Amino acid sequence: MIQIHTIEEWRDYAAQLRSAGQTVGLVPTMGALHEGHGSLVRRAVADGAVPIVTIFVNPRQFNDAQDLAAYPRDEAADLANCEAWGAAAVVTPSVHEMWPTSPATTATTVSVTGVTELFEGEGRPGHFDGVASVVTKLFAITGPARAYFGEKDFQQLAMVRRLNEDLSLGMTIVSCPIVRDEDGLALSSRNVQLDGEGRRVALGFSRALRAVADRPRTARDVRAVVRTALESSGIAVAYAEVVEPLLLDPIGNQHEGTARVLLAGVVQGVRLIDNGDVTIVSSEGE
Ligand code: AMP
C-alpha cells in the first residue's frame, strides 16, 4: 500500500491504474477509521476494484469550528487499518493542498438542491455544499469507475447519487449497509467522544429503529414511536422523520411499502445520526 500527499501524484497514480485497465474504486473518508469504513474498502476489493482511500477532514463541510477542532484524528492507526482491509493507496492531502486559497475563500461551490434541504441540511447550514464541493474534487482528481459510500450517511448518499446523475459523472455509486457494534450502536468516528454513559444514551437510536422494524406501521405511528424511544433514552432529538428512500420527501398518509427512518440528536454535545428501513401501511381514512 502506498501513501500519497499531493494532488499531482494522486492524479497520476489513478491515471496509471486506468490505463492498465484496472477498475479504480474510491472510498472517501474523514479518517478515525473503523469497521464501517472497513466494510467500504472490503466491498471495493470484493468487486475487483483497486481501492483508493482518501482521508481528509474537510473544513468546508463543518459549520461549527469547535466541531471541526474536536473531530478525532489518528493517522497511524488509519494507515494500518487501510493496509489490513486491502487498500492499494491512502491519500492524505493537507488542507492547503486541497483548498490552496483557504477553505472559506475558495470561489467554486458545488450545490445540490432538493435532497439536501431538510434534515442535516437544516441543522448544519452549508454542510452539504462543503461535502458536494469536496467529493466533486475527489472525483475529478481520481476518475474512479466506482465510488463507495455508507448508508450511515443516508442523506449524503442520496445527494451523491444526484450529483453523479446531474453532472453525468458516469460512476457507479455503491452503497454499503450500516455496520453496528454488537450492542446495536452504529459505528461512527464521533463515538470516541462519548463516555460510557453517553454510549448508553446513544443506544436509544438503534432501539428506536428496532422498535418500528417489527411490523408494517403507519407513518404517524413510526414518527411517534421513534420520537418517544429517543426522548426516553435521554437523546436531545434534532429530527425523527420517515421519508421516501430516494428523494427523501417526508411521506404522507397514502404511502405504502418501504420507507427510511432518519434520526438525529445530540448526546453529550455530540451530534449523532442513524437510520433504517421500515414498512409503511397507508393511514388514509384513519
Ligand atoms: P466519514 O469518515 O464519517 O465521513 O465516513 C466515510 C464513509 O464511511 C461515508 O460514506 C460513511 O457513510 C461511511 N460510514 C461511516 N460509518 C459507517 C458505518 N457505521 N457503516 C457503514 N458505513 C459507514
Q: What is the pLDDT of residues 7-58, one digit of tens each?
A: 999 999 999 999 999 999 999 999 999 999 999 999 999 999 999 999 999 9
Residue nearest to atom 12 of ligand 1 (CA): 150
Where in the sequence of the chain do the CATH 3.40.50.620 domains occur? 2-176
Q: Which of 5, 34, 37, 255 is catalytic?
A: 37
Residue nearest to atom 18 of ligand 1 (CA): 36
Residue 62 has pLDDT above 70, yes or no: yes
265-284 pLDDT, tens digit per residue, is 999 999 999 999 999 999 87
Atom of ligand 1 at shortest range from CA of 37: 8
Q: Is the CB of 150 under 6 A from ligand 1?
A: yes
Q: Is the CB of 149 under 6 A from ligand 1?
A: yes
Q: Is the CB of 176 under 6 A from ligand 1?
A: yes
Atom of ligand 1 at shortest range from CA of 31: 2
Atom of ligand 1 at shortest range from CA of 27: 7
- pLDDT value at residue 178: 98
- pLDDT value at residue 285: 62
- The correct CATH number of 189-279 out of 3.30.420.10, 3.40.50.720, 3.30.1300.10, 3.40.50.150 is 3.30.1300.10
Where in the sequence of the chain do the CATH 3.30.1300.10 domains occur? 189-279
Q: Is the CB of 178 under 6 A from ligand 1?
A: yes
- pLDDT value at residue 286: 64
This prediction has a pTM of: 0.98
Ligand 1: centre distance to CA 175 (Å):
10
125-178 pLDDT, tens digit per residue, is 999 999 999 999 999 999 999 999 999 999 999 999 999 999 999 999 999 999
- The correct CATH number of 2-176 out of 3.40.50.620, 3.20.20.70, 1.20.120.80, 3.90.226.10 is 3.40.50.620
Atom of ligand 1 at shortest range from CA of 187: 19
pLDDT band at 253 (very low <50, low <70, confident <90, very high): confident
Report strand pairing: 270-280 vs 257-267: antiparallel
| 3-state helix/strand/coil string of the chain | CEEECCHHHHHHHHHHHHHCCCCEEEEEECCCCCHHHHHHHHHHHHCCCEEEEEECCCHHHCCCHHHHHHCCCCHHHHHHHHHHHCCCEEECCCHHHHCCCCHHHCCCCCCCCCCCCCCHHHHCCCHHHHHHHHHHHHHHHHCCCEEEEEHHHHHHHHHHHHHHHHCCCCCEEEEECCCECCCCCECCHHHHHCCHHHHHHHHHHHHHHHHHCCCCECHHHHHHHHHHHHHHHCCEEEEEEEECCCCCCECCCCCCEEEEEEEEEEECCEEEEEEEEEEECCCCCC
Task: Say whether 37 is catalytic.
Answer: yes
207-245 pLDDT, tens digit per residue, is 999 999 999 999 999 999 999 999 999 999 999 999 999
